């Protein structure tokens, strides 16, 4: 059963994000902090006495400008994630042809098309080179039909041929190339085009929240100058609320940043990392991604992809890399079988 997300549900994430951000920023601007308006005007906005604060930077103006720059960068990246195309799969020429066939005829054609070589050059070996060595019951050298090893899938909802690593998102109601996950916080899928921007948003958000926590910590009224604990809590109530919001958001951002950095280094997606046994092309590999080219090459491709490459071209590169990894695994199994005999 497909899930359909309404217009209101798609706005919950941005609304919550905007509300929490507004609360924290207003507290920073109106309370006695280094980025407060009172530091420049001397006005008492909320009835609390202005007190000297312990400076965490060289000057109050420098602290305000640093916070403003970090805040602007984080917000631009966030709204970029919510509005950009994550890499929706576009109908190909073969997809437009397959629409007119029935489901059974379409499956038969897809199995035939999967048997064709991906490329004719030496850098992209065709599927016909691979023997059925993954099946231990087979002793002959008859090649395994590629459609049985790596079937070409069809999305009946979008009526497109699904490339490798793509998946249909029931929230966006579109198929996404190199599908990572659907993020409710940005109400958008994270895919081939948007994964790098999403990672940059997590990085900027982590830096901004760390800087915010530092400002809030240095802005707290000293407890030794308060007559009672209740008076200290009442004096710092707004700062403590903002600190709690920022701390919880910082913990989530840092954990997600670490996880997506590991995904980028190993050339995986969230979907592939969490559900490898349920994905057909991941079942032949254990504890390693078939698309990995090494930590350095993976991170370089993730951060600096070719600007002129289309999603279809990058999908084809992933398919070629999968066959290269599959060939290596077949060679290792062949060598192991020879040694045991």
Dihedral sign, Cα of residue 182, residue 186, residue 188, residue 191: negative
| Mean of pLDDT values over 146-169 | 75
Q: Is residue 127 over pLDDT 80?
A: no
Q: Please report the pLDDT score of residue 189 as a whole number.
A: 93
pLDDT per residue as tens digits for the range 212-249: 998 888 888 777 777 777 877 887 888 889 999 999 99
Q: Which of 260-274, 291-305, 306-320 has the lowest mean pLDDT?
A: 306-320
Q: Please report the pLDDT score of residue 298 as a whole number.
A: 93
Q: Is residue 106 over pLDDT 80?
A: no
Name the 3-class secondary structure at 256: helix
Taking alpha carbons only, the member of 39, 30, 51, 71 closest to residue 241 is: 30
Q: Please report the pLDDT score of residue 164 as a whole number.
A: 86
- Residues contacting 255, CB < 8 A, separation 6+: none
305 or 133, which is more confident? 305
Q: Please report the pLDDT score of residue 61 as a whole number.
A: 58
Between CA 272 and CA 194, with CA 201 as vertex, the angle to 5 degrees is: 50
Tell me the pLDDT of the chain averaged across its residues: 75
For the question of residue 76 being annotated catalytic, the response is: no
pLDDT per residue as tens digits for the range 29-57: 877 777 765 555 444 444 444 444 444 44
Q: Which of 223-227, 267-271, 279-283 has the lowest mean pLDDT?
A: 223-227
Q: Please report the pLDDT score of residue 307 as a whole number.
A: 77
Q: Is residue 121 over pLDDT 70?
A: no
Q: Please report the pLDDT score of residue 10 as a whole number.
A: 65
pLDDT per residue as tens digits for the range 50-100: 444 444 444 555 677 888 889 999 999 999 999 999 999 887 655 454 445
Catalytic residue among 81, 169, 175, 183, which? 183
Dihedral sign, Cα of residue 166, residue 196, residue 198, residue 254: positive
Q: Both tokens of residue 127? A: 């599927």
Q: Please report the pLDDT score of residue 59 as a whole number.
A: 52
Q: For residue 126, what pLDDT band results from cuts at 50, 70 and 90?
A: very low
Q: Please report the pLDDT score of residue 300 as a whole number.
A: 93
Tell me the whole-structure pTM to 2 decimals.
0.78
């Amino acid at each position: 059963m497909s899930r359909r997300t309404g217009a209101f549900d798609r706005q919950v994430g941005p609304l919550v994000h905007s509300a929490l951000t507004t609360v924290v920023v207003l507290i920073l601007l109106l309370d006695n902090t280094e980025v407060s308006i009172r530091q420049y005007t001397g006005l008492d906005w909320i009835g609390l006495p202005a007190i000297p604060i312990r400076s965490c930077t060289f000057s109050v103006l420098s602290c305000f400008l640093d916070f403003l720059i970090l805040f602007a960068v984080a917000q631009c990246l966030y709204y970029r994630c919510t509005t950009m195309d994550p890499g929706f799969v576009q109908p190909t020429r073969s997809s437009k042809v397959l629409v007119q066939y029935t489901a059974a005829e379409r499956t038969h054609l897809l199995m035939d098309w999967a048997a064709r070589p991906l490329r004719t050059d030496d850098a992209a070996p065709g599927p016909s080179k691979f023997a059925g060595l993954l099946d231990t019951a087979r002793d002959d050298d008859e090649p395994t039909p590629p459609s049985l090893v790596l079937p070409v899938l069809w999305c009946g909802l979008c009526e497109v041929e699904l490339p490798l690593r793509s998946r249909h998102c029931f929230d966006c109601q579109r198929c996404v190339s190199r599908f990572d996950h659907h993020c409710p916080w940005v109400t958008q899928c994270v895919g081939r085009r948007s994964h790098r921007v999403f990672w940059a948003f997590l990085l900027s958000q982590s830096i901004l929240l760390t800087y915010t926590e530092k400002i809030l910590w240095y802005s707290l009224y000293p407890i030794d100058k308060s007559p009672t604990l209740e008076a200290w809590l009442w004096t710092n109530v707004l700062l403590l609320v903002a600190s709690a919001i920022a701390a919880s958001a910082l913990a989530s951002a840092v954990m997600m940043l670490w996880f997506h950095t590991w995904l980028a280094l190993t050339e995986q997606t969230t979907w592939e990392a969490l559900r490898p046994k349920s994905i057909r092309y991941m079942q032949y590999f254990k504890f390693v991604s078939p698309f990995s080219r090494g930590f350095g090459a993976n991170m370089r491709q993730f951060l600096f992809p070719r600007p002129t490459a289309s999603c279809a071209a990058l999908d084809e590169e992933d398919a070629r890399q999968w066959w290269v990894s599959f060939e290596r695994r077949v060679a290792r199994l062949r060598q192991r079988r020879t040694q045991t005999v």
